[in-house]
Each structure stands twice: as structure tokens, then as C-alpha cells.
Amino acid sequence: MVSLFQGVHHLPIWLLLFMSFWSLSEEGKLLVIPVDGSHWLSMHSLVLQLQQRGHHIVVAAPEVSALIEPSEHYTLKTYFVPYTKEYLEAEFRRLGHQVFTPRPFLERVTQTFARIGNITTFLLNSCKQLLSNKELIISLKESAFDAVLMDPIFLCGQAVAEYLSLPSIYFSRGIPCGLEFQAARCPNPPSYIPRFFTHYTDHMTFPQRMWNIIVSSALSWSCSLLYSSHEDLIRDFLQQDVTMTELLSHASIWLLKYDFAFEYPRPVMPNIVLIGGVTCGQQKPLSQEFESIVNASGEHGFVVFSLGSMVSEIPMKKAQQFAEAFGTIPQTILWRYTGQPPPNLANNTKLIKWLPQNDLLAHPKARAFITHGGSHGIYEGICNGVPMVLMPLFGDQMDNAKRIESRGAGVTLNVLDMTSKDLSAALNTVIYDKSYKENIMRLSALHLDRPIHPLDLAVHWIEFVMRHKGAPHLRPAAHDLNWIQYHSLDVIAFLLAVVLVAMFISWKCCLFCCRKCFCKKGRVSKSSKTKAQ
């Protein structure tokens, strides 16, 4: 890892002294409030990096977690939650099976809403437990942190930050209802910025632009609905009247996990820092086991297949379909799978409980990557230049897949409708049609050609907030305007009124003048008439 403060020889001595004093006298204390599951995985690598730079990290997490575990790298402080590890694992398994079960369209929509509702209730319950855990809150207050690093999907983190009067840094791929842009007062025109769940690109037809606007309003409304109980809870806790947008608008820095090699270009605000590829680190050598599988793959190379950390088991029928497709291609398949092996598994397919995904994708023999389209995996595909077959399951995955497909760097399959032939054809396309490799290599070159690694950039901005107790100089004055003022509607109305009044007065003046003239003329002509008589 490169050292930060690059180019320090440009800096005056007083600032160097200030920085070294800051970093010697107190290494920095950071409170981390994460969200479990895949969200934690990418935050975890950032936490490790911060710990390596000498900061003391405290992670406040539910006492029952799928992936957040005690570690020598940070102090884990837990709070009670009313569920068990078994319940959590069963929920994850259920999710895996649910997304692979074909259902009619309307039922799928209802199911999606139900899933979002479930997640929100789950987060709300965790929030209740965290905020009511007085012992923990007092201990956090006594710890005198410099800042809070949090996942903004768990709004509770900001409530704690407000309570402790600490600046906060958000780490996220984005909030499905686009709340991050609303909260950061970042312009977000629906005419060329596709909304989550629409699966549109940035070039939309008229009906698509219309649907994009409707979805935008619907998402905004549903977010208000979903988070309303959070707001009530937080209002009680903070003893102040606050909305979720106001809460999130207090973020010092938004670390967003994408860049424009992947995301469509759009406006950003000064406190939005793009760190796409933050988890895509240096390639480590493969273990003996993987090295031998990879070498044995011969000239055809191998394919990496993983559906992410949340889904490792799938229904047997689907597994058989996958296995059948894999049997038709000459590449070796490395499949992350913990379920019962399908009986039709071909010799070229290896089922593995855990894959060193990044190191495998970085291998020159990696020919394709079958992924569910989580942003973590997608960036590993991009930074290693491996074309993808995308099988989006839920959340932002459909939209992520669309972005890769629209760049000609991958093929998207509908995991419910697809046949084994579709999968085999998709694999052959991305492996043998050269344009896919060329396109992913182009994206990779654009993504990797940056002045500083995104992990270093993320660390810089977290330390910046810790050093300066926030980043108020990056907060736009737009936060101090209401909706009408922001859009200058009051000024426009006033100017319109002035113009209308001016027009009315001019009209009246004209009328008056005309009347005067005509009357005069009339009188003159009358008098002349009289004279003439």
C-alpha cells in the first residue's frame, strides 16, 4: 500500500508538523457501524487498512451476525438482537431458494416489496436494540471517537453519530431510492440518469424517460414510507424533530463504490468521493490446490462461477441445469457451491466451498466470470479484465448487469427463464467473441488508470474527516434553501408578477392615452363641426 500524503515535499513545514503531530499524538479513534452480509465484506477491507495505518477501530454490531466476527484488527462491541444465528442462516438460505423459484410477474413484484419491507423491519429492530442499549451508548460516548464510518442503509448509524456529536463518513454502493442524491443535494435529472430497478441505460427512449420519472417518484415515496418508523424511533432518541433526508444530509463524506468505467456519467457533489474497485486489491499467489486445477485447465483455461456471499445453495433442478451447460464447454469450471452436488456434474466442473475469487480472476487463464452482479464481484471482473455472464438475483444486481451488458463486456441471463443451452451459448459468446474481451479490457484500462488507488482515496477522506472534525467546506449552501428557493420558483414568480404588472400598467396607459387622443380629436372635431355649422 502506498503511503498517503503523497507529494508531501510540496507542503510547508508547519503543515507537516501538524500532520505528524496529529498522527503521533493520537492515532485516531474510529467508530464503525456496519451492515451485515456482503455490505460488510467490502467495508471490512477498508477497516483493515485503517487499522494498519494505526487507528483504533471499534465496530458496533448486532451480537448475532452472518459475517461480522470478532477480530484482532478491531474491537467488536455488540448489542443484543432478538434472533439467533440459525434463524439468520435459514433466512439467507430461504433468500437463495426464493430467487430461484419461478413466479408470475405480479407475485414477483409483491415479493420484491415484501423482501425490502422485511429488510427494513430487520434493520429497524436492530436500530431499536442499538439505541436502547444504554450501556453501549454510554461506553461509545466515553470512547471519544474522531468520526463514525457507517453504511447509510442503516440510518441508525447517523442517529448515533448525532448523539455523540461526531462527523460521519458513509460507505455505500447507493441507496435504492436515490436518497443519497436527495440528501447530498446532488442534481439527479431523470432524463439521462436511469433509476434503480428500471434496468435502463443512460440513453432512454421517450417511454423509458417517462417510466424513469414515474419510478423515481414511486421510489422516493416508498422510501419515505419504509423509513417513517425509523424517523419516529430516531426522533424519540435524539429528542429533536428530524427527517431521514435531513439526517443523511449531515454526512461529511459519501464514499460511493463505483466509478465511470462502470456507472453512467452524472453530476456529483464535492463531498461525494467515488471509490469503485476499492476491494479489488493486489493479486496474491494461488494455493497449491487451486494452482494445480488452474494449470490442468490447459489451453482452454477456466471459468469462475460464484453467486456471491449470500447465495451458496440453490434448488437442485437449477443446479442440474448449470451442470448440464458446463458439461458442454471445454473450459474448467470453478464453482463456489456448498449444496448437494448435482448428479450430472461433468468432469470439468469443480465444486468448491470457498474461492479466492480475485486471485483466480487475475490469472491469465481466466476466460469468463459467471456472477450474480454484485458490485464487489463486478469490480473484480472489471479490474482483472474478465468478460462476464451475469445472472442478477435481487437488489441493484439487475442494474449492475445492465451496465456491463450495455458496454458489450458481458451477457445477462434471466436466471429463472434460462435453459442450460442459454448458459452454454452465453459462455461461448463471451469466451470466443473477441469483442467481449476487448470491451472488458478497455473498461479495465480506464478503471485502473487513476492517480490514486480507491482504497487509499477512501482512507485519505476518512482521515481528513478525523483530522478536521468533518468537512463543512464541502457542504453546499443548497442545504440552507427550501425546495422553492432551490429551484428559484419564488424569484421566477416575482419576476413574472413584475412583468405582468408592468404590462398591465403599460396597457392601461396606452388605453388612457388613446382615449385622451380620441376624446380630444372628438372634441376638436365636434367644435369644428359646430364652427362649420
What minimum distance in Å lies between the beta carbon of 51 and a copy of itself? 19
Phi first, then psi, for residue 149 (nearest 5°) are -105, 125
Q: Among 83, 92, 122, 192, indicate the residue that binds a copy of itself (CB under 8 A).
A: 192
Task: Give the H or E element holding residue 444.
Answer: helix 434-448
Single residue of 30, 261, 323, 334 touching a copy of itself by CB under 8 A: 261
Q: Beta strand 75-79 with 56-62: parallel, antiparallel or unpaired?
A: parallel
C-alpha cell read off for 126: 436492530
Only one residue has cell 503543515, namely: 15
Binding to a copy of itself, residues 120-139 (CB under 8 A): none
Residue 10 or 353 with smaller CB distance to a copy of itself: 10
Residue reference for cell 463471451 = 430
Question: Judged by CB under 8 A, which of 267, 330, 341, 522 binds a copy of itself?
Answer: 267
Q: How far apart (Å, rounded) are the C-alpha atoms in residues 341 and 263?
A: 37
How is residue 199 written as a grid cell? 434496468
Select 128 or 209, whichever has its Cβ closest to a copy of itself.
209
Q: How far is the CB of 149 from a copy of itself (least distance, A)?
A: 17
* Binding to a copy of itself in span 329-388, by CB under 8 A: 362, 383-385
At closest approach, how far in Å is the CB of 438 from a copy of itself? Answer: 13
Among 254, 337, 394, 464, binds a copy of itself (CB under 8 A): 464
User: Total binding residues for a copy of itself by CB under 8 A?
Assistant: 75
DSSP 208-264: HHHHHHHHHHHHHHHHHHHHHHHHHHHHHHHTS---HHHHHTT-SEEEES--TTTSP
Nearer to a copy of itself, 76 or 268 (CB): 268
Q: Do residues 381 and 363 lie in contact, with contact meaning Cβ atoms separated by under 8 Å? A: no
Choose, by CB under 8 A, the member of 17, 109, 144, 213 that binds a copy of itself. 213
Cross-strand pairs, 170: 150, 254
Q: Which is nearer to a copy of itself, 486 or 518 (CB)?
A: 486
Of 159 and 261, the one with the shorter C-beta distance to a copy of itself is 261
> Rounded to an integer, what distance in angstroms lies between the CA atom of residue 3 and that of residue 299?
40
* Cα distances (Å, whole numbers) of residue 205 to 187, 209, 266, 398, 411: 21, 6, 18, 19, 22
Name which of residues 8 to 37 contact a copy of itself (CB under 8 A). 9-12, 14-15, 18-19
Q: Binding to a copy of itself by residue 425, rule CB under 8 A? A: no
474-533 residues near a copy of itself, rule: CB under 8 A: 474-478, 480-481, 485-488, 490-492, 494-495
Q: Between residues 203 and 523, which has the closer beta carbon with respect to a copy of itself?
A: 203
Minimum CB separation of residue 389 from a copy of itself in Å reads 21
Among 105, 449, 530, 533, binds a copy of itself (CB under 8 A): 449
- Pick between residue 242 and residue 448 the one whose CB is nearest to a copy of itself: 448
Q: Which residue has the cell 435531513?
A: 246
Closest separation in Å from C-beta 430 to a copy of itself:
18
Maximum pairwise Cα distance, the chain: 128
Contacts of 197 (CB under 8 A, 6+ apart): 176, 215, 219, 398, 399
Q: Which of 4, 116, 119, 425 binds a copy of itself (CB under 8 A)?
A: 4
Give the shortest CB-173-to-a copy of itself separation in angstroms: 17
CB closer to a copy of itself out of 260 and 354:
260
Q: What is the 3-state secondary structure (H, E, C) of 495-506?
A: HHHHHHHHHHHH
Asked if 190 touches a copy of itself (CB under 8 A), the answer is yes
